[in-house]
Copies of this chain bind each other. A is one copy, B any other.
């Protein structure tokens, strides 16, 4: 039976969590990346399709491949982050459905409908990016998501075969609290929610 998580957990996941641009000089090891994937992978996706693919950049060489595609504002902080995850979508995600969604044969549904493939890949890889952000926070990491980059340049550099598309990018590390500025507000309940 599920209960409400305690306040410390709710604070860590949502209420006190912040997006960071600057991180402490503390590396993220392979085991932490594996623990992160072993949480986020359980987040739900349509047809259990899991279209997201994750490129985890930690070496200077990998960061330099990404750097030219980043907006000026995002470049230095991304190169400096302990890890940078390129969240991409596999355009042929439905090839995995016979294994990942054994309930019935859903692959032909996608093979016949490129617009459905695109909408499903975009929506669900975005959901999976959000699962990554929250799984990172659950593991005590901080995230810095960003979408200011030249997507065509990222695709050309990292996915030259044309089979994947970048969706967005998330820097990961242990956030430097001294680098935070004032937090933005949020829409009020009445602005965002309608009860019917």
Contacts and interface: CB of A to CB of B under 8 A. Distances in A.
A117 interface: no
- Of A120, A139, A143, most buried by chain B (CB within 10 Å of CB) is A139
Nearest to A54: B193
A14 to B, nearest CB: 4
Interface residues of A, number: 82
Nearest to A17: B42
29 contacts: A2-B137, A2-B174, A4-B138, A4-B139, A5-B5, A14-B39, A14-B43, A14-B135, A15-B42, A17-B42, A19-B44, A37-B189, A43-B130, A44-B143, A46-B146, A50-B186, A50-B187, A52-B192, A53-B194, A54-B194, A55-B194, A56-B194, A101-B184, A102-B184, A123-B167, A126-B126, A126-B130, A128-B130, A130-B134
A62 B41 CA distance: 34
B189 A10 contact: no
Contacts of A53: 192-194
Interface in A6-26: 6, 9-10, 12-15, 17, 19
